[in-house]
Structure 1
Amino acid sequence: MLLTLTTTHRPATDLGFLLVKHPDRVHSFDVPTGTAHVLFPDSADDRCTAALLLDVDPQRLSAARGGRRQQSAPESFTLGQYVNDRPYAASSLLASALAKVFRSALRGESKDRPELAATPLPLEIHVPVLRGTTELVTSLFGPLGWRVTAAPIPLELELGGDSRYVDLRLSGDLTVAAALNHLYVLLPVLDDAKHYWVAPDEIEKLLRAGEGWLAGHPEKELIARRYLAHRRSYATSALEQLDRTEGDTVDVAEDTGADEEAELPVARKQSLAVQRREAVVAALAESGAARVLDLGCGGGALLGALIKDKRYTEIVGTDVSSRALDLAHQRLHLDRVPERQRDRVKLWQSALTYRDDRLKGYDAAVLMEVIEHVDPPRLPALEASVFGHARPATVVVTTPNVEYNVLYEGLTGMRHSDHRFEWTRAEFAEWSARIAAAHGYDVSLRGVGDTDDTYGNPTQLAIFTRKEAA
């Protein structure tokens, strides 16, 4: 099986320093399931490609399993251990080889080019054969900043149609360490069949490789479940640890100054995600709302907070993604809660840029970290649908304050790869005032999170109150 990593950074041959491999040599490594080779088919100042080629030995692969079939093994038939796609389709075998041969690069370490190791570079990745669908591959790599091209591999002409494999190409500006860690986690996730027995230490491997990106990934539940071979207790443990750092990877700025009272016990600082959620809940409580919409509810974090408060007699979560609604359903344990509590919650698939009569007549609606994910030309449609058609008595909106981004060390660009824009405080105030005037609302603005004298708060919050409802 094959994986290539290419850069056009100049000099492109610096890729050899980052991978700790000389471009003029072929490097071979013995791995439990065969032999891994690293070579550079292209090595010039303007373009350099490193290839990882894994030659799988079926007998060694069978011995490495110790005769045990993995929980989700695809080769679960009589001759499956000999007749299978393991030698050519990218899987956990390739991820394990990657971890061995690029160990320093995965950690972001480079003795010769330390500054370059921390710098996003123009990268291209090619995996010629990978199990999965175009949609799944895009949903996994797209939120991480990659431009994804996943072409289905056709079956033989006699059979017709497409196989269950894709030819994957990724491009984007990322650090080499980030790129390798994405592959290390997501190749086994897409294959969904680890070649070795999954033990509890796999949780730590997942969290370590997913540091800085997995907690905020929209498919983190699926990733955890598949990476941990569908071991429910392991996945639950991993997700609980990820939830402690829920939100964008840069949500909480670290105070690097000296703590004069470091010897005193202090309370653990809340993440911005938690502070934001609590600010929204407080705004809803002030409004006196009983029937609430969470528009763009995602995996249901806010819904989980609302369902605990008996003042809310009807709670509706909407999202354009059916997958997100499934995750919200699981998160709220709607299959197990008492019927009276379950009847308070509804989950609807709905696009915010289209009018939906079901959303009319509610006391309050929340757009928490939603508007920045909408393409600017589509914002007027969202405004008309929420403020003009649904017209709840109160609307609570949160969005990042782009001015605050300078306080996040190492952040380049926006806080999340799926953000279409991030506004200054003046831009958000102007938008809020325009929406209020156009649709008959009063509006007040607040900040959420630590306050900086120059840059304000990391999150901006607006509370719109309909005038005839005031």
Structure 2
Amino acid sequence: MLLTISTNDPGLRPATDLGYLLGKNPERVQSFELGFGQAHVFYPVACAEQCTVALLLDVDPVRLARRPAERDGYVPLEPYVNDRPYVASSFLSVAMAQVFGSALGGRSRERPERAVQALAFEARLESLPCRGGRMLVEKLFAPLGYAVEVERLPLDSRFPAWGDGPYHRVRLRGAVRLGELLSHLYVLIPVLDDEKHYWVGDDEVEKLVRKGEGWLATHPERDLIAYRYLRHQRVLVRNALERLSIDEGAPPDAADAEAAAAEEAVEKRLRLDQVRIEAVVAELRALGAHSVIDLGCGEGKLLRALFREKAFARLAGVDVSLRALEIARQRLERDRNDRIVLMQGALTYRDERFRGFDAAALVEVIEHVDPSRLGALEGVVFGDARPGSVIVTTPNVEYNVLFESLPAGRHRHADHRFEWTRDEFAAWVSRTAAVHGYAASIRGIGGEHPMHGAPTQMAVFRRAGGEGA
């Protein structure tokens, strides 16, 4: 079985630094003894502009056949003749963990800064059994931000009349950290195969939770993944789902509420929260939007303001926090609304419910996303949901020195993963607009300081040919 991972990302130069990330020298072939065969690592392409690593797993069917005890002196033929040596399966996941262990854990001794950097990778699996077909491959990998190509393979190319087999050639392309790519493959390859070659117990729950950290808890197919990964063992599946039910990427509700209160106290003197809402509503009104989705709606402040205006005929709010959605629901019910839909979801996973709106708003949202996952959010909002207009607001970190109650170097909210300068925000806006076919403009919210700018910065993206463009 063969797995290749390639990159030609301009941010990784020379591209052969991929060898440092994997801990495997591109200049020589390396082989590793495993309990079921041999794994070989080599680099078909290794130059400054592009690098490809190959993991070739040679499964020994004779060694596998010796495992089961003979029954009445009879050894069945099946252990000797099967597809296991040739198709990606849990054998490949085990080999990845043993051969690429540090990279799978997100570590690199030689290039630690590259290990946390999202890079453009392409992964290819030459033969992958999939109990669920092409659609299941897409349902598992597309929400993680990958462009997915699937080709079903013939049962035997010499005999076309036999038709197609259960095997697929899969190609994945996306901008992710190498550790993320490996963890996605580690978990999802045996899920697609719907089989494991070893006993599954409590330790497999630990592996699933650990390898799924940061992405599995909010994956749309989380339950199916857990069910297949744990070989349909209901007790183990229930245990795993209970542990995954708490969003691993968000702080506990009490801590989140405390952090939000602290941020509100910092900005209270400027009435910044209200000023932001008013500015976004005015911009959506000027864009002529009739349907709006509030991505990261929290407790529904923007939705309540939009509901008061009859021009917004269809409204939706999305948040990962069930507690925030419940508060939003209670507040909106007081308005006896029948135009708003609230949905739980993560903005880093593609979701067809996000599509079909004139405009989307992300009010003080992007700074809560890990920088390594920001590319996934961009792909979901601008690439997949693709509304006619997108409004994004985020703090201007240059203004923070003017908040007397905010200690130097501290973010306004404890859950902020970053806060950008005006130049950093402008660079992100320019790149995102260019990549996804939008025009964009930027302005400040909350009054301009001659040196430090406005406390909040807002970008308005308009898609050519879209509503509000």
TM bucket (normalised to shorter chain) is: 0.5 to 0.7
Two-structure CA RMSD over aligned residues (Å): 4.6
Aligned 1:279-318 pairs, distance under 5 A: 279=299
1:423 aligns with 2:399: no
Identical columns (%): 40
Specify the SS of the correspondent of 1:423. strand
Instruction: Find the aligned partners of 2:414 and 2:56 in 1 and give their Cα distance.
Output: 47
Equivalent in the alignment of 1:36: 39
Equivalent in the alignment of 2:48: 45
Quick check: 2:5–2:54 contact (8 Å CA) kept in 1?
A: yes
Instruction: Find the aligned partners of 1:210 and 1:134 in 2 and give their Cα distance.
Output: 22
Instruction: Find the aligned partners of 1:117 and 1:450 in 2 and give their Cα distance.
Output: 22
Equivalent in the alignment of 2:218: 216
1:284-321: CA deviation from partner (whole Å, max 9, x where unpaired): 9xx9xxxxx9989999979x979xx9xx9xxxxxxxxx
1:73-112: CA deviation from partner (whole Å, max 9, x where unpaired): xxxx953322211010100001100100001111111111
How many pairs were matched up?
338
Query: 1:114 and 1:375, CA in 2 relative to 1: closer, same or farther beyond 3 A?
Result: same
Deviation at 1:120, TM superposition (A): 1.3
Instruction: Find the aligned partners of 1:80 and 1:106 in 2 and give their Cα distance.
Output: 33
Aligned 1:216-365 pairs, distance under 5 A: 216-245=218-247, 249=249, 251-252=250-251, 279=299, 363=338, 365=340
Specify the SS of the correspondent of 1:84. coil
1:89 aligns with 2:80: no
Q: Normalising by the residue count of structure 1, what TM-score does the alignment of the two structures yield?
A: 0.60
1:216-245: CA deviation from partner (whole Å, max 9, x where unpaired): 111111111111111111111111111111
Instruction: Find the aligned partners of 1:298 and 1:51 in 2 and give their Cα distance.
Output: 40
Specify the SS of the correspondent of 2:375. coil
Specify the SS of the correspondent of 2:161. coil
1:4-31: CA deviation from partner (whole Å, max 9, x where unpaired): 1111133111111111111111111111
Structure 1 gaps of 5+ residues are 69-76, 255-265, 288-292, 313-360, 384-397, 427-447, 457-470
1:143 aligns with 2:143: yes
Query: 1:375 and 1:223, CA in 2 relative to 1: closer, same or farther beyond 3 A?
Result: closer
Quick check: 2:118–2:372 contact (8 Å CA) kept in 1?
A: no
Instruction: Find the aligned partners of 1:135 and 1:298 in 2 and give their Cα distance.
Output: 26
Query: 1:241 and 1:65, CA in 2 relative to 1: closer, same or farther beyond 3 A?
Result: farther
Structure 2 gaps of 5+ residues are 260-295, 308-313, 395-412, 420-445, 447-454, 458-469
1:405 aligns with 2:367: yes
Query: 1:126 and 1:407, CA in 2 relative to 1: closer, same or farther beyond 3 A?
Result: closer
Alignment partner for residue 185 of structure 2, among 183, 186, 202?
183
Deviation at 1:415, TM superposition (A): 3.6
Greater alpha carbon shift after TM alignment, 36-45 vs 412-421: 412-421
Deviation at 1:159, TM superposition (A): 3.1
Equivalent in the alignment of 1:100: 98
Query: 1:301 and 1:370, CA in 2 relative to 1: closer, same or farther beyond 3 A?
Result: closer
Equivalent in the alignment of 2:462: none
Q: Normalising by the residue count of structure 2, what TM-score does the alignment of the two structures yield?
A: 0.61
Query: 1:64 and 1:138, CA in 2 relative to 1: closer, same or farther beyond 3 A?
Result: farther
Quick check: 1:92–1:194 contact (8 Å CA) kept in 2?
A: yes
Deviation at 1:155, TM superposition (A): 2.6
Deviation at 1:414, TM superposition (A): 5.4
1:18 aligns with 2:21: yes
Deviation at 1:278, TM superposition (A): 8.7
Deviation at 1:178, TM superposition (A): 0.8
Instruction: Find the aligned partners of 2:42 and 2:50 in 1 and give their Cα distance.
Output: 14
Matched to 2:117, the amino acid is T
Equivalent in the alignment of 1:120: 118
